[in-house]
Every structure is written in structure tokens, then in C-alpha cells.
Chain A
Amino acid sequence: MSRLFRAPHREFSNSPLRTKRLRSAWQLLCREGPSSIAKIALSRLVLPRIGRATHPALTRQVRRMLGEAGGKPPIVVA
């Protein structure tokens, strides 16, 4: 299936060390209160790449939500 909105990601190495460093940088910036520009850059450029390493968490979340839905159809708000 093609993506709806997301631009294709460039290949990114999700080595554990790199992910750990990015996550630490993110947590540090959260504590320090990053500027809006930094937040946008982080949310658009950095977090999705870290997030690629956390897809199993999204998978579990989706499975859990579907399991609790009781047959109600999923809704995607785009």
C-alpha cells in the first residue's frame, strides 16, 4: 500500500546506540524547553526516525485498541 501523507523515509540505520543517543537528546531538549523551531525540527526529522525503532510499540497499541473495540470499526482522522 502506498502512503497517504508521509514522504518516503531515507534509509536510516536504527542501531541501538544511535537510537539511544537520539532519544537522550530528545529527552534533554524536552527538559530544557526547546524553541518552536527546534520542536518542529525534532518532531518532523528526528522523532520519526527514532520512532521507526519503536514500531513494535505501535503494533501492540493498534492490536490492543482493536481488541477492545468490541466490533466497532476503526476510524482514521487524516
Chain B
Amino acid sequence: MDYAHPYRQRPQHLALAFARLGHPVFYLSPRSGHDLFLSFSSPAPRLCVTDADDMLQHLLDERPILLLMSLDNRVDTNLVARAKSWTPRLIYDYMDHIDPAISLIDIPPGHLEAHAALLRDESVLVVASAQVLYDEVAPLRNRGLVLAQNAVDVAHFQVHRSTSALVPEMAEVVGRGRPILGYFGALASWFDYDLVHAVAPARMSASC
């Protein structure tokens, strides 16, 4: 996923968080149309967005920590082998179930194969983004597994924004002047509409 993709996901948040912790971070862009740079861009201090991973391999004196994302269908056994030849410090971020219903495209068999191998490879640190994923991986290894769940970037939502450009439906909700409870994410197959309908009346003091 491009760093500048308007729908910011876990890879972008992790990259920015690592940079804020003081690490030099290099975000490898697939250049899908949102990242518009010549050889790199620097959207934040210590964060470099580039696609020149071949150059990075020569420029980085130290073997980097390489973070692979589980939803990246380009990750297959050949890529993992190349990654390991670059650095022994691999992290595999198991950020979501590997499922066509989630990714909305077919999962390449090579990715499924690599995914299964990475979950068992104790030379690779696996990070699970949810307890259910952690519980899935735990029986497969004796070490190198951590749970790092998603959270809310409170500062992002606390910024005062102009309401003049809101669509009428949303402007009406904002105009009520009450706290707003909402869901920020994809309305995909896993979204539990019945649950939302069930719990919304319990919070009548807020706008849902």
C-alpha cells in the first residue's frame, strides 16, 4: 500500500510510530498511484518513502529490521528468501486473517505457502494484531510471538476541522452537537450491522 494512500492502514501507522521513536525508517512503496516521488519522499522526520530497495541494500551499513506485512500478496517464499539474504532481522506482521473475503482478491498460493512457513519460522518475529490471531500462531512456535493490537490515534481525531464541506447527512449529525460514536473502516463482509443496530439505542445521548 502506498504511504500516501488516503485510507491509512497499519503499515503507515507503524512506520510513522517507529520514526517518532527515533529509528530511521524506510517505507517501500509499491507506487500504486498515490506516492508521487522521483527517488524518495520524506513525509515526516526520519521517514523516507522510496521504492529503491535495491539501493537501500547497498546504502544501509547495518542490517535493518525488515517488516513484512501479512496482507502483502507479493510476499512469497522467494521474496522471504531474498529478505533473509539481506537481513536476519525479520518481523512478520500478522495484521489480519488471510482471506479473499477480506482482501477482496484471490490469495496467490505462493503467499499462502509463505504465510504458513513464516508463522512457524522461529527466526522470524511474528506480531499478531489481535488475540485471535495470536492464539492461532501460539501453538506453532515456542518463541518470537508478540501481541500488538490496533488502537485509535486520538490526536488525529482531536484536531478541529471545518464542517463546511460535509455531506448533508453527516452535517446533520454533527449539527446535533452531541458526542459522535462511529466506525472508521471498511463496510466489508465482516461488519456486524445487527450488532450496531442493537447497541446504538443504548447510547441515545450520543449520535451514532
Residues of A within 8 A of B (CB): 1-6, 23, 30, 36, 39-40, 42-44, 47-48, 50-52, 54-55, 57-59, 61-63, 65-66, 68-70, 72-78
Set of chain B residues within 8 Å of A72, measured between Cβ atoms: 21-24
Instruction: Establish whether residues B83 and A4, one from each chain, have CB atoms under 8 Å apart when the complex forms.
Output: yes
Size bracket, chain B contacts: 35 or more
Shortest Cβ distance from residue A46 to the other chain B in the assembled complex, whole angstroms: 10
CA distance A71 to B31 in the complex (A): 30
Shortest Cβ distance from residue B131 to the other chain A in the assembled complex, whole angstroms: 24
Shortest Cβ distance from residue B20 to the other chain A in the assembled complex, whole angstroms: 12
Most buried by B among A3, A58, A78: A78
Question: At the interface, yes or no: B144 with Cβ under 8 Å from chain A?
Answer: no
Instruction: Establish whether residues B24 and A3, one from each chain, have CB atoms under 8 Å apart when the complex forms.
Output: no
Question: At the interface, yes or no: B149 with Cβ under 8 Å from chain A?
Answer: no
Instruction: Establish whether residues B26 and A75, one from each chain, have CB atoms under 8 Å apart when the complex forms.
Output: yes
CA distance A66 to B23 in the complex (A): 9
Instruction: Establish whether residues A77 and B42, one from each chain, have CB atoms under 8 Å apart when the complex forms.
Output: no
What are 18 residue pairs bridging A and B, where the CB atoms are less than 8 Å apart in the complex?
A: A1-B58, A3-B82, A5-B30, A30-B36, A40-B33, A43-B35, A44-B31, A47-B37, A55-B52, A58-B48, A61-B48, A62-B59, A72-B23, A73-B89, A74-B24, A77-B11, A77-B15, A77-B26
Shortest Cβ distance from residue A55 to the other chain B in the assembled complex, whole angstroms: 6
Set of chain B residues within 8 Å of A59, measured between Cβ atoms: 55, 59
Known contacts A57-B39, A66-B60, A75-B65; is-contact A6 B23 (Cβ 8 Å): no
Residues of B within 8 A of A (CB): 11, 14-15, 18, 21-28, 30-40, 42, 46, 48, 50-62, 64-69, 72, 74, 79, 82-83, 85-87, 89
